[in-house]
Structure 1
Amino acid sequence: MKAIGTTASRTRRLVTRTLAASVAAGALAWLSIAGSQGSSTAAAPEAVADEAPGYAVENFNYPNADKILAEQNIVLKRGDGHITLADCASGTGLLEVWAREKTDKICFAVKGASGWLTLEIPSVYAIKGNDYATEVDMTVGTEEKSFDVEKNTWTAVGEAADEEGREHMLVEIRTAK
């Protein structure tokens, strides 16, 4: 009888070990599948984020400034978009800038409650204002001067307002309603 008991005991141990190994293998397989699904779920937002459009970051650089410089020899640097270079024949209500080195006036359209534009126009001597309160900054050498531009009339600025008649460069325009 001992032989039968020993064989049954061995069979039980073999079945138990096989069952335990099967359960362990099943658990590992389940964990591996669940883990890979979890990681693919976590990877999915990254893939979507990579394909989504980026954030728009405004740097305030003037659009097409290189083209304007090449065609009109006007350096437009930065602004908030409320003061833009305009065709002087495009209408009324424009800021008009006269510079000795230009044969025609240079015009700017102004929109919104306020605006600013940094630029470089040498030898500016007069500016005609519009309905906005306008202030301009100009440089002569290392010196900086500011001028208030009269509304809807011509204002002498730069060399026309300088006792020594020195050439001034227009470097900033600021407007407010």
Structure 2
Amino acid sequence: MAREQNVNVREDQVRYTRRIATLTGVAALGALAALAVLTNPAAGAPRGAAAVVAEDVPGLAVEEFGYPNADTILRDKGIVLKRGDGHITLAECGSETGLLQIMRRPEDAYPVCFKVTGDSGFLTMEIPSVYGVKGNAYDTTVDMTVGTEEKSFTVEPNQWTAVGETTDPEGREYMLVEIRTQK
């Protein structure tokens, strides 16, 4: 548990450092542009020293919280994982206890499992035809869509919860679009 908290603290420190570096880079780039205009008032468009300075500055790193290897996961598992905070991650079902398990159609499709860490988490995705979720020790909510309609389901801790088409009087197919967890 302490190791997991240390990892979470370290991840937060890395994110904070990246944000500071990004803001510092933006401020420095703005200052250089202003200096170039002030020292060359006739410069209507960036050229000369200002253009060289702009070309020498490395690109800004902006964390978008995109899911790593999302293209490979789409190809191999047929699911779209978009973005999250890193506290809900794809896992091999049966690899350990305490995983969230998602059941989807067709019936012969393999379940999709997620490991949850930290005090809270979120993950956005697109998993079509979801009809059941097995919860873990966390308070979990799943958001789903059918057509333009959105619906949220509270997942019972450590047991199966009917979601999507299994709760719909018309039996429509729902797409899982977000998981949110809280300890």
User: TM-score w.r.t. structure 2 length?
Assistant: 0.66
Letter in structure 2 aligned against 1:93: G
| RMSD between aligned residues | 1.9
Q: How far 1:170 moved relative to its partner?
A: 0.3
Paired positions, count: 130
User: TM-score w.r.t. structure 1 length?
Assistant: 0.68
Which of 136, 143, 151 is 1:137 aligned to? 143
Letter in structure 2 aligned against 1:155: T
Q: Does 2:163 correspond to 1:151?
A: no
**Unmatched runs of 5 consecutive residues or more in structure 1:** 1-46
Query: Sequence identity of aligned pairs in percent?
Result: 68
The residue aligned with 1:169 is 175
Deviations 1:105-138 (A, max 9, x none): 1100000000000000111000000000000000
The residue aligned with 1:43 is none
Deviations 1:56-80 (A, max 9, x none): 5311100000010011111000100
Letter in structure 2 aligned against 1:80: D
The residue aligned with 1:32 is none
The residue aligned with 1:33 is none
Letter in structure 2 aligned against 1:170: L
The residue aligned with 2:109 is 103
| Structure (1/2) with the larger helix percentage | 1
The residue aligned with 1:18 is none
Letter in structure 2 aligned against 1:79: G
The residue aligned with 1:66 is 71
SS of corresponding position for 2:94 = helix
Q: How far 1:103 moved relative to its partner?
A: 2.0
Q: Matched residues in 2 for 1:54 and 1:91: separation?
A: 40
Which of 122, 133, 139 is 1:116 aligned to? 122
The residue aligned with 1:86 is 91
SS of corresponding position for 1:69 = helix
Q: Matched residues in 2 for 1:55 and 1:63: separation?
A: 19
